[in-house]
Amino acid sequence: MAGNRTFTMIKPDAVRAGNIGGILAMMNDAGFRIVSMKLTKLSAEKAGEFYEVHKERPFYGELVEFMSSGPIVAAILEKDNAVEDFRKLIGATNPAEAAPGTIRAKYATSIGENAVHGADSDENAAREGSFHFAATEMF
Ligand code: DAT
Ligand code: MG
């Protein structure tokens, strides 16, 4: 059975561009409830740990540098079928391929700087949520 929580980050490009409010409104309008949320900044070490699964990929260094380049908004969100529905809301990794009406179609500028993260499985959503938040910060 699909879980009801997912984990997201509004990435440094979208924070720099002043798009926190617009992106949160799209999440809200799609029916996601905020369980946890904070504005924070990842060190290069923490960003590297978060994206460890991509360690062997050619873009890993660039990804770690970008994700630690400025503040992000980290959040746990709740909704039925959260992981799958949220991936639909954010759209394809490459904004050129993201469906109209998705967050990445509206706010992403490139495949590397694509405005938002969304967990890709219930297991990763739980792991990524615990990476950023203590149990006492989940409401
Ligand atoms: P997603 O964020 O859609 O889950 P992913 O897990 O495949 O995508 O990759 C994680 C992030 O790494 C992605 O949001 C942006 C970056 N990335 C992926 N493919 C890339 C590429 N070909 N060039 C540069 N950055 C890339
Ligand atoms: Mg991914």
* pTM given for the model: 0.98
| Rounded Cα distance, 72 and 15, in Å | 6
| Residue with token string 């109209």 | 100
Q: From first to last of the 139 residues of the chain, give the pLDDT tens digit.
A: 589 999 999 999 999 999 999 999 999 999 999 999 999 999 999 999 999 999 999 999 999 999 999 999 999 999 999 999 999 999 999 999 999 999 999 999 999 999 999 999 999 999 999 999 999 999 9
**Which is the closest atom of ligand 1 to the Cα of 90?**
3
pLDDT of residue 2: 85
CATH class name, domain 5-137: alpha beta
DSSP secondary structure code for residue 19 in this structure:
-
Distance 55 CA to ligand 1 centre (A): 12
**117: annotated active-site residue:** yes
| Rounded Cα distance, 84 and 87, in Å | 5
**127 among annotated binding-site residues:** no
